[in-house]
Amino acid sequence: MALAVTSSSTAISGSSFSRSGASSDPKAVQICSLRLSDRTHVATLSQRRFSMKSQNAESHSRSESWVTRASTLIAPEVEEKEGDVEDFEQLAKKLEDASPLEIMDKALTKFGSEIAIAFSGAEDVALIEYARLTGKPFRVFSLDTGRLNPETYRLFDAVEKQYGIRIEYMFPDAVEVQGLVRNKGLFSFYEDGHQECCRVRKVRPLRRALKGLKAWITGQRKDQSPGTRSEIPIVQVDPVFEGLDGGVGSLVKWNPLANVEGADVWSFLRTMDVPVNALHAQGYVSIGCEPCTRPVLPGQHEREGRWWWEDAKAKECGLHKGNIKEEDGAADLTPAIVQDIFESNNVVSLSRGGIENLLKLGNRKEPWLVVLYAPWCPFCQAMEASYLELAEKLAVKGVKVAKFRADGDQKEFAKQELQLGSFPTILLFPKSASRAIKYPSEHRDVDSVMSFVNLLR
Ligand code: SF4
């Protein structure tokens, strides 16, 4: 369904940016003067169209959500003719073969001081080097989750010195972090999944940062995660976050490295003598928070070093959750009316009474494999295909395969009685033992689960 947005627009007049390197003005984006227009425009979001115009003068008060801009900038003039509406889907196609430098230049030219590079402290430092090479002023922000490695803080410092900039750090809300840690401890993500902690320490600060911008630049690449990043466009209207003007479609996301291979990023960093995170020399590839990042072995995919206790195909912290194909409501990982999953004749759907019976039986006629799931959970969705294939294979071996929806009202029971930690949890009820055995690995591919069943059934 096409969604039409109608709004009155505000044109941004050029030549109105001032150089104010040591500015302490918390309303950094307000340094441009505004010329109000009562023209209206209609943007059809299904066509991924985005207007550069501000929606109204009131929206600029939202820039208060953005922290004091610390980088020293001379912002270029942003020329926009009234009525211009950019089609970013078309632009992405045009830029498909462009170099990262060309893409960066285009992004900075189009958005001036209203765009910023999101820097994680890993090899996305390449973005900063590309920005420098354009010769244009640029802004950089970073999320300080409070759980980063010391090496990452050192890199932030080295980058600030090398490029003569101040990174605009975003911090989580102290009260929210306090609530999470006091209620659930410092490492709740190992038990409950990483989304809750990431939401507090990363996603909400990011949302605040983006509310002060019209566009952002990320270091996402297609080869980083086959499950979630294989279709990243060069540029897109951000499918998840809102920008300065507010509302769906008010933010543009640039991914200049989308088509670049990891090895080529590294050649570039070496050639240009760019400072890099010391953790890379210790085997770390993808780098995030200290408790959720580990080195990978040669041959392992880089994302295997992130949230390794969770499903390999759906590893997004929420910053790029638009990459995960999900039903409405799954974005916040809250239960909603969504289509059920694991639908097959080979998978028995267990009621609460059914699984209680299974628990009570000491001697079962046949072994049972049961997945505890929530249909809105992206990790459950990611393992659906392999679980259905497994069910087909196990049907001929006399193993019953089942599912039990364990969210909502059933969650407490599942936690108490069924060893539910995070979704999905897989249990094997062996033929002759009364206790269910929890599948302990995050590798939920057919072969791994099959050997677990064969060894223990
Ligand atoms: Fe929390 Fe780990 Fe996410 Fe960092 S990566 S915010 S520590 S769950």
- Predicted pLDDT at 319: 61
Nearest ligand 1 atom to the CA of 288 is 5
Residues of the chain above pLDDT 90, percent: 52
372-422 pLDDT per residue, tens: 999 888 778 878 889 999 999 999 999 999 999 998 899 999 999 999 988
205-225 pLDDT per residue, tens: 999 999 999 999 999 998 876
Confirm if 88 and 48 have CB atoms less than 8 A apart.
yes
Contacts of residue 102, defined as CB under 8 A and 6 or more positions apart, other chains included, come to 95
- Ligand 1: centre distance to CA 198 (Å): 5
Q: What does the alpha-carbon distance between residue 177 and residue 147 come to, in Å, rounded to a whole number?
A: 11
- Ligand 1: centre distance to CA 149 (Å): 12
Please indicate whether residue 145, judged by its CB atom, sits closer than 6 Å to ligand 1: yes
104-134 as b/e: b if 16+ CB within 10 A = bbbbbebbbbbbbbbbbbbbbbbbbbbbbeb
Nearest ligand 1 atom to the CA of 196 is 8
Please indicate whether residue 292, judged by its CB atom, sits closer than 6 Å to ligand 1: yes
Residue 6 has pLDDT above 60, yes or no: no
244-303 pLDDT per residue, tens: 998 878 999 999 999 999 899 999 999 999 999 999 998 888 899 999 988 877 666 776
Location of structure tokens 């922000």: 141
Q: What does the alpha-carbon distance between residue 281 and residue 428 come to, in Å, rounded to a whole number?
A: 40
Phi then psi for 87, rounded to 5 degrees? -105, 100
Q: What does the alpha-carbon distance between residue 372 and residue 165 come to, in Å, rounded to a whole number?
A: 49
Mapping DSSP to helix (H, G, I), strand (E, B) and coil, where does residue 29 land? helix
- Predicted pLDDT at 192: 82
How many residues comprise the chain? 457
Closest among 399, 441, 151 to 278, alpha carbons compared: 151
- Ligand 1: centre distance to CA 44 (Å): 36
240-260 as b/e: b if 16+ CB within 10 A = bbbbbbbeebbbbbbbbbbbb
Please indicate whether residue 206, judged by its CB atom, sits closer than 6 Å to ligand 1: no
- Ligand 1: centre distance to CA 201 (Å): 7
Q: What does the alpha-carbon distance between residue 148 and residue 120 come to, in Å, rounded to a whole number?
A: 10
- Ligand 1: centre distance to CA 211 (Å): 22
Please indicate whether residue 306, judged by its CB atom, sits closer than 6 Å to ligand 1: no
Residue whose CA lies nearest to ligand 1 atom number 2: 292
CB-facing half-sphere around the CA of 148: CA atoms within 13 A? 26
Q: What does the alpha-carbon distance between residue 341 and residue 374 come to, in Å, rounded to a whole number?
A: 9
- Ligand 1: centre distance to CA 181 (Å): 12
Please indicate whether residue 313, judged by its CB atom, sits closer than 6 Å to ligand 1: no
For residue 317, indicate whether it is catalytic: no
Q: Is the dihedral of CA 246, 232, 163, 113 positive or negative?
A: negative
Largest CA distance in the chain: 80
Phi then psi for 108, rounded to 5 degrees? -70, -35
Location of structure tokens 């009155």: 8
15-33 as b/e: b if 16+ CB within 10 A = eebeeeeebeeebbbebbe
Crossing angle of helices 150-163 and 125-134, in 10° steps, is 10
Span 96-107, mean pLDDT?
96
Q: Over the Cα atoms of the chain, what is R_g?
A: 25
Contacts of residue 231, defined as CB under 8 A and 6 or more positions apart, other chains included, come to 222, 323
161-202 pLDDT per residue, tens: 999 999 999 999 999 999 999 999 999 998 888 889 999 999
Nearest ligand 1 atom to the CA of 197 is 1
Alpha carbon 139 to chain centroid, angstroms:
21
- Predicted pLDDT at 3: 31
- Ligand 1: centre distance to CA 229 (Å): 20
Confirm if 156 and 167 have CB atoms less than 8 A apart.
yes
Span 322-337, mean pLDDT?
42
**Who wins on pLDDT, 239 or 173?**
173
430-452 as b/e: b if 16+ CB within 10 A = beeeeebbebeebebebeebbeb
Please indicate whether residue 147, judged by its CB atom, sits closer than 6 Å to ligand 1: yes
Phi then psi for 178, rounded to 5 degrees? -60, -45
Phi then psi for 273, rounded to 5 degrees? 55, 50
Q: Looking at 246-383, list the stretches that DSSP marks H as alpha helix, in order from N- to C-terminal side.
A: 262-271, 352-360, 378-382
Nearest ligand 1 atom to the CA of 289 is 4
For residue 377, indicate whether it is catalytic: yes
- Predicted pLDDT at 309: 75
Please indicate whether residue 197, judged by its CB atom, sits closer than 6 Å to ligand 1: yes
Nearest ligand 1 atom to the CA of 200 is 6
Nearest ligand 1 atom to the CA of 147 is 7
Residue 2 has pLDDT above 70, yes or no: no
Residue whose CA lies nearest to ligand 1 atom number 6: 198
CB-facing half-sphere around the CA of 301: CA atoms within 13 A? 15
- Ligand 1: centre distance to CA 197 (Å): 5
Mapping DSSP to helix (H, G, I), strand (E, B) and coil, where does residue 26 land? coil
Best of 184, 188, 201 for a ligand 1 pocket test (most atoms within 8 Å of beta carbon) = 201
Best of 189, 195, 207 for a ligand 1 pocket test (most atoms within 8 Å of beta carbon) = 189
